[in-house]
Amino acid sequence: MIRWIRQQLGFDPPHQSDTRTVYIANKFPQHGHYIPQRFADNRIISSKYTIWNFIPKNLFEQFRRIANFYFLIIFLVQLMIDTPTSPITSGLPLFFVITVTAIKQGYEDWLRHKADNEVNGAPVFVVRSGSLVQTRSKNIRVGDIVRVAKDETFPADLVLLSSDRAEGTCHITTASLDGETNLKTHYAVPETAVSQSVSRLESLQAVVECQQPEADLYRYHSQSDHRNPPHTVSLIPLGSENLLLRGARLKNTKEIFGVAVYTGMESKMALNYKCKSQKRSAVEKSMNTFLIIYLGILLFEAILSTILKYAWQAENKWDEPFYNQKTDQERNSSQILKFISDFLAFLVLYNFIIPISLYVTVELQKFLGSFFIGWDLDLYHEESDQKAQVNTSDLNEELGQVEYVFTDKTGTLTENEMQFRECSINGIKYQEINGKLVPEGMTEDSPDGSVPCLNGEEELFLKAVSLCHTVQISYDQTDGPGDPFSHANGFSPQMEYYASSPDEKALVERYLMTFCLSLGEKVLFTKGAESAVLPYTTSGEIDKTRVHVDEFALKGLRTLVVACRHFSADEYQEVDRRLHEARTALQQREERLVEVFNFIEKDLELLGATGVEDKLQDKVQETIESLRLAGIKVWVLTGDKHETAVSVSLSCGHFHRTMNILELVQQKSDRECAEQLRRLARRYNTLAHPFYRCDVCLCLCRIKEDHVIQHGLVVDGASLSLALREHEKLFMEVCKNCSAVLCCRMAPLQKAKVVRLLKTSPEKPITLAIGDGANDVSMIQEAHVGIGIMGKEGRQAVRNSDYAIARFKFLAKLLLVHGHFYYIRIATLVQYFFYKNVCFITPQFLYQFFCLFSQQTLYDSVYLTLYNICFTSLPILVYSLFEQLVHPHVLQSKPALYRDISKNSLLSFKTFLYWTFLGFCHAFVFFFGSYILMGEDTTLMGNGQVSVSPASLPSSLLFSYSRSCVSVAGLLLC
């Protein structure tokens, strides 16, 4: 705390320079000029409160709500002035609401503390005093040498010093950081790679000079200062390949040693913690609007009652009647202060028109109702043993308001399980038949077990596919003797492949075990998307391969293009020299590397292309059709190439064969993009002239009037960027009025931008984004509702989503059934809360006309206290949890029922006015019904006996009896 105060006052800034000096093993210099730097400890803190700040911080957050702050003011007014009701009537309900909410939020934060303690208390091994010492993760300091074993996560950001491998390398996975499940290779500092024992590590005399912590996961620049005998100093540049990030996991390596450079909340993982923007549902926004309207009604009634009171008391007989003589102090008091006091008294008298328990009842309904999603067996995937998961219960009703669904393709609509199907080698297409490559048009005629002869082009292509990849193989160690060369032959049953993508894994599993060929020359192999490779090829069957790639894409296959470049000895030496200079540069390292790579990757020889199949998930087509019938438009946002994306869209039912497809692809400039947009519109007579201001309206009218032919739009990432620069309005309006939109070659940030554009359009549609990979996180967080698929690309999307399901097909029931129920239930709950309070307080307002606006209360204090928090909250809460107006099977079989609740129809202003008007009508019936009942020849006493004729009673006594009858009517209401 003292350090924090000093930092805030500027006396102890956390980082006094742009760099930090880390002394390995904390061997600080002994001379007197050294000033130690202060670093964060290794604790991770994701909790919101502490035991010291919970009460003040939680109270501050709760009283930021309008209703809670309003009742706090009313409670304070009741304490300060003479009011007609006891302070308990406002204080007790307020205390109940605040307490329940605090307990809920405190419990959730306790779970976060518990998770933090598990991480911070995890056992780790640190080199101290010449030996390995076991300690807790939170005790790691910057400069400590840490040992990490296989399959363990790194407890801090470490610079790799050594590993059990002779070359000083290790393999890690970063699925918890960026969702990538492939193995990444990292390298030890060359001077310390041989230091594989604790004693040698302890004797190191070295310093790491690095930049201060930053959030970029892939950026790290530093240098290592090693003092070698005799008194020589060597400077070694370090990069991201030397840094092991906290949260990553060690794989395929027995153990490593690393020095901690960033710890705790200064680690790159902690700096990438993104506080999600608070998502608010349409129901909550409507609820706040209704609350403000009722505050206006309250103020109107209080002001009107105050004015009428003074108008009534203008006559002396009512201002100072014989039975209520004023004191001298009352006669001499300020009229302004008295007016304010009376206004506040009426405000207290009518304050229960605001439902104080609305927020807590809604929170309970959402929290308890969210369990039904996890309990639904129809959302349970037996093969993976995964059930639906609710990460936030604040958006349950939003599932019933979705108008647009943005979905990823790979792993969301498809299985993300790749199988090799076809390839093109030197302009000839090959198909896989029974595990063998057969040229197109031929049949398998080679006997089993024989190895076909390969020509030069085929051999070089297979070399490229076998060698140009990032796949790593992990072998499970078995006890006892065995064949040490069995792994090399590819026959070990314990092999496990780790690849950067399922495409690579499919290709390597197909070829790696058969073609292990040595290269006698320097050859560069490269593979990638045709848009990235073909522009740099100068030889080979370019035209034929391009045609084959398009054919593969039309079949829905994922394509990769393979190329190579041969280097002479001199060329290779030049390339190696330039690469070494760029990699060891301390300044502008990335720019220099890009320049060298551009020099290397040119004049390529095209070898061929591959086609890998990714199967559709079960019932994807039926799900998309159900969403379309429900009035929900589906947009597919994918990084695949145009032809592949269109083929998959057709196969999954996103595009129909009879649909008119509009294309906005391969646009090179703003002008070209604008002309293409106008050209597409003119094809259907939608634009009369490119300069008319009404061109958008004409386009929309034409599309809306065409009920026979549905339109679909295909746009790629480059064209999208151009279209959104100058022609955003025309582009987005045409998109919104197309039945389906397919965006291909999309970057992750482009996905989020498309969602944001539609989300912030004038119509403010409710959007839902669904995906399974780390590249989908941005659009999942941007959409009103984010759905994560528990797929094969890590858990990044699931952790950042609002809801998580195992398969895309479960989306139909999640929206059409659960979303339908949640919305109807909570809409009824909200409207009922305002309705019942109008019924309850309006008789109190009417009663003032019969008691000379004396601020006399109509209800008993206990009844005022319990009406909101007990009598009328519990029944509607039970209703809002279990009510099913329509059977779930009917909702799924008739998706069009989803349209009936769209556009927040049950909480529209018209519906709100109906409920409010109904409340006032019922309040008049309760009050004047009781008045008429009490005005007859008999009057009921409190004990149920018949009293004297009310005609002989004064009106004030008559209404004393009437109050009990109105209270009974209010009790019957609840």
- Looking at 299-440, which runs of residues are DSSP E strands? 389-390, 404-407, 414-425, 428-433, 436-439
8-state DSSP, 478: -
Nearest alpha carbon to residue 205 among 186, 224, 222: 224
What fold is seen in the domain 414-443+455-477+489-612? Calcium-transporting ATPase, cytoplasmic domain N (3.40.1110)
pLDDT at 223: 66
pLDDT given for residue 959 in this prediction: 42
Q: Is 745 known as a binding-site position?
A: yes
611 is in an annotated binding site: no
Residue 504 among known ligand-binding residues: yes
638 annotated among ligand-binding-site residues: yes
| Residue 444, both tokens | 């398998």
pTM of model > 0.75? no
Q: What is the mean pLDDT of each run of 10 residues along the chain (974 residues)?
A: 48 59 80 73 84 88 80 83 76 83 83 84 88 90 90 90 85 68 79 79 81 75 61 68 87 88 85 61 83 90 90 70 64 77 86 80 87 91 87 86 89 79 89 81 57 72 81 56 42 58 64 40 82 84 89 80 86 84 73 83 88 84 91 87 76 80 79 76 46 42 50 84 79 78 82 87 89 79 88 67 89 93 93 90 89 82 77 86 91 92 88 93 91 64 51 42 45 44
pLDDT given at position 957: 39
Q: Tell whether residue 139 is among the known ligand binding residues.
A: no
Q: List, as one string, the DSSP characters of 864-928.
A: HHHIIIIITHHHHHHHHHH--SS-HHHHHH-GGGGGGGGGGGGGSHHHHHHHHHHHHHHHHHHHH
Instruction: Using DSSP bridges, classify how beta strands 522-528 and 472-475 pair: parallel, antiparallel or unpaired.
Output: unpaired
What SS3 state is found at 560? Answer: strand
296 annotated as ligand-binding: no
Residue 468: strand, helix, or coil = coil
Helices 820-847 and 282-312: crossing angle in degrees, nearest 10, is 0
378-413+613-812 to CATH, choices 3.30.70.20, 3.40.50.1000, 3.40.50.150, 3.40.50.460 = 3.40.50.1000
Q: Tell me the three state secondary structure of residue 387.
A: coil
The pLDDT of residue 132? 87
The DSSP code sequence of 680-713 is HHHTTT--S-TT-TTHHHHHHHHHHH--SS-EEE
126 — phi, psi (to 5°)? -125, 140
- How high is the pLDDT of residue 698? 41
Residue 673 is encoded by which pair of tokens?
């993009």
What is the C-alpha R_g of the chain?
37
Catalytic residue among 178, 408, 503, 695: 408
558 is an annotated ligand-binding site residue: yes
Do you find a cis peptide bond into 230, omega within 30 degrees of 0?
Answer: yes
Give Cα 391 to chain centroid, integer Å.
Answer: 10
Decide: 920 and 838 in contact? Cβ < 8 Å. yes
Asked if 354 and 94 touch (Cβ cutoff 8 Å), the reply is no
Q: How many CB atoms lie within 10 A of CB 100?
A: 17
Q: Partners of 159 in the beta sheet?
A: 243, 259
How many whole angstroms separate alpha carbon 271 and alpha carbon 258?
21
Torsion angle of C-alpha atoms 353, 354, 357, 359, degrees rounded to 10: 150
The annotation status of 614 as a binding-site residue, yes or no, is no
**Catalytic site includes residue 408:** yes
Contacts of 642 (CB under 8 A, 6+ apart): 553, 665, 714, 716, 744, 745
Domain extents for the chain? 378-413+613-812, 414-443+455-477+489-612
Residue labelled with tokens 């209800």? 859
Q: What's residue 935's pLDDT?
A: 64
Task: State phi, psi for 472 to the nearest 5 degrees.
Answer: -120, 145
- Say if 378-413+613-812 and 414-443+455-477+489-612 have the same CATH topology: no
